[in-house]
Amino acid sequence: MTVELDKSHLQIQKAVRDFVKGEFKKEVIEELVEGNAFPEAIWKKAAELGFIGIHFPEAYAGAGLGVLENALIAEELCRGDSSVGCCLGRAGYGAELLLRFGTEPQKAAWLPKVADGSVLCAAAFTEPGLGNDIARSRTTAVKAGDGWVINGTKSFVVNAGPQAGCCIVLARTDAEAAEPSRGLSTFLVESDRAGVRVADVGKKLGCRLMPIGEVCFDQVRVPLDHLVGGENRGYDQVASFLNESRILAAAQALGMAQGAFERSFAYVKQREQFGTKIIDFQVTRHKVAEMATKIEAARLLTYQAARSFDAKKGKSDARLSAMAKLYAGRTAVEVCDEAIQLLGGYGYIQDYEVERFFRDAKMIELFDGSRGTQKNAIADDLVKRGMR
Ligand SMILES: Cc1cc2nc3c(=O)[nH]c(=O)nc-3n(C[C@H](O)[C@H](O)[C@H](O)COP(=O)(O)OP(=O)(O)OC[C@H]3O[C@@H](n4cnc5c(N)ncnc54)[C@H](O)[C@@H]3O)c2cc1C
C-alpha cells in the first residue's frame, strides 16, 4: 500500500490486522458461512476493542475520531474477510443519523450500545415499490396525541434481525408538501415496539452472514421525542447520511479488492504451469498490474473523500463520496472477478475464498444507492458547481 498515512493511522491499521489474524479463523468463518450465521462472537470482540463507532464522540463510547479512521477499520476488516468484514463494518448502520441529527437523549440512549456491541443499528429508507427513489417514500408517520403512528413497509433493511436494537425509519409526515422530498422525516423506532414485524428478504447472492429483512410497521406508536432532527427534514438528513455511508462502502469495497488481490497474487507466485510459475507469464503480470493500479486509485479516492469529510467537520461532499463508492465498488467487482480467473478452477471453489469475495463485493454496487444513483449524484453536482 503506497498511500501515505500518519503514525496514528498506521497504528489503527496494525491493531485491526492483529485482530483479524487472531479472530478471523478460517474454520470458524467456514462454519459461519455454512450456516449463514451472523458473526456474533467476533462482533462482540471487535466492539470490545473499539472498532465499532470509533467515529462517535468519547461521551458516547467512541474514540472521537473521524470517517477516515472508521474507513481504515472497515477496509482492513473486509480485507481479512469480505463476509465478516461487511457485518462488522455495518454494525452501526444508520447510527450516524442519530450522531449528526439526533437529540442528546437519543444519542445517549443508543450510540454507546452500538459502540459496545450490545445492539446493531438499522436504517430503513427503501420500500418494495420504490428503490432509489426514496423521496417518494409511502411509509407514513401521523401525529396522534402524545406520539406518532407509523405505517408502511421497508425492504432490504440491513441488521433487521435478532441483534437489532433500533432502526431509523424514513416516513412521510406531510402528504401535501409541494415537493415529495420536503414532506419526509426520520424516526427512531426500537426493534421491539409493538407492530414491528421482520421478514427475511430471501436467499442472497452474497453477504449471507448479514441479516437483511423486510420490515413492516403496522400501527407502530412511538413517543413524540422519537422524531430525529426537525420535522420534514428527513430527506436532507438521509442524503447527508448517505454521503458519509458511501465513503464507508467504498472502504469496504477497497478491503475486498485488496483481500482478493492478495489471495490471487500469492497463488500465481507459487502455481506452476507449462514448466514455469504463472506469475512469469506476461499476461499474468499485466493482470496483477492492472488490479493493483485500480486498487490504488480507489484507495486514493476513498481516503480523499474521508479526509475531505473530516476536514469539513461532517459537511459532506456528495460528488466525492459518490465517486469513491462508484469507483471502489466497480474495482472490487472487477478485481474479485480477475482473482477467480487467476486461480483458474480453484477460484470457483469455496475453500479458496475469492468466489465469496466476488459475491460479497457485488453488494457495494447496489447498497446505499445503485451505480446509476451515484452517477446521478456526480452529474448533478457537476452541473451545479462545474468541474473544479
Ligand atoms: C445487500 C443490500 C443491502 C441493502 N441495505 C439497505 C438498508 O439497510 N436500508 C435501506 O433502506 N436500503 C437498503 N438497500 C436497498 C438499496 O439501497 C436499494 O436496493 C437500491 O437503492 C436500489 O433499489 P431497487 O433495488 O429498488 O432498484 P431500483 O431503484 O428499482 O433500480 C433498478 C435499476 O434501475 C436503475 N435506476 C433506477 N432509477 C434510476 C435513475 N433515476 N437513473 C439511473 N438509473 C436508475 C438503478 O441503477 C438499478 O440499476 C440494500 C440493498 C441491498 C442489495
Going from the Cα of 372 to the center of ligand 1, the distance in angstroms, rounded, reads 9
Nearest CA to ligand 1 atom 3: 367
Class of domain 120-234: mainly beta
Locate the ligand 1 atom nearest the alpha carbon of residue 375 and give its number. Answer: 43
Going from the Cα of 162 to the center of ligand 1, the distance in angstroms, rounded, reads 24
Distances in Å between the Cα of 266 and the Cα atoms of 94, 255, 288, 298, 305 are: 37, 16, 11, 21, 30
Task: Classify 39 as helix, strand or coil.
Answer: coil
Contacts of 109 (CB under 8 A, 6+ apart): none
Q: Are strands 164-172 and 120-124 parallel, antiparallel or unpaired?
A: parallel
Going from the Cα of 241 to the center of ligand 1, the distance in angstroms, rounded, reads 16
Give the model's pLDDT for residue 226.
Answer: 98
Mean pLDDT by 10 residues, the chain (388 residues): 85 98 97 96 98 97 97 98 98 97 98 98 95 93 97 97 95 96 98 96 95 97 97 97 97 98 98 96 98 98 96 86 98 98 97 97 96 96 89
Pair 353, 317: CB distance under 8 Å: no
Q: Which of 171, 169, 220 is nearest to 195 (CA)?
A: 220
Handedness of CA 246, 247, 250, 255 (dihedral sign): negative
Handedness of CA 205, 210, 211, 217 (dihedral sign): negative
Give the model's pLDDT for residue 315.
Answer: 78
Going from the Cα of 227 to the center of ligand 1, the distance in angstroms, rounded, reads 25
Residues lining ligand 1, Cβ inside 6 A? 93, 123-126, 131-132, 156-158, 207, 212, 363, 366-373, 376
Q: Which CATH architecture has domain 7-115?
A: Orthogonal Bundle (1.10)
Contacts of 32 (CB under 8 A, 6+ apart): 38, 39, 83, 84, 209
Cut 0.85: pTM above it: yes
DSSP states along 183-225: GEEEEEEETTSTTEEEEE----SS-TTS-EEEEEEEEEEEEGG
- Cα(307)–Cα(94) distance, integer angstroms: 20
- Cα(120)–Cα(157) distance, integer angstroms: 12
Give the model's pLDDT for residue 132.
Answer: 85
The C-alpha cell of 79 is what? 480485507
- Cα(202)–Cα(190) distance, integer angstroms: 23
Pocket test for ligand 1, best of 36, 127, 132, 245 (most atoms within 8 A of CB): 132
Q: Where are the domains of the chain?
A: 7-115, 120-234, 235-385
- Cα(342)–Cα(329) distance, integer angstroms: 20
Q: Which of 83, 42, 46 is nearest to 363 (CA)?
A: 83
**What superfamily does domain 235-385 belong to in CATH?**
Butyryl-CoA Dehydrogenase, subunit A, domain 3 (1.20.140.10)
Nearest CA to ligand 1 atom 1: 363
Going from the Cα of 310 to the center of ligand 1, the distance in angstroms, rounded, reads 27
DSSP states along 91-146: TTTTHHHHHHH--HHHHHHHHHHHHTTS-EEEEE--BTTBSS-GGG---EEEEETT
Give the model's pLDDT for residue 74.
Answer: 98
Give the model's pLDDT for residue 192.
Answer: 96
> Around 334, how many Cα atoms within 13 Å sit in the side-chain half-sphere?
15
Q: Which of 191, 14, 29, 222 is nearest to 94 (CA)?
A: 191
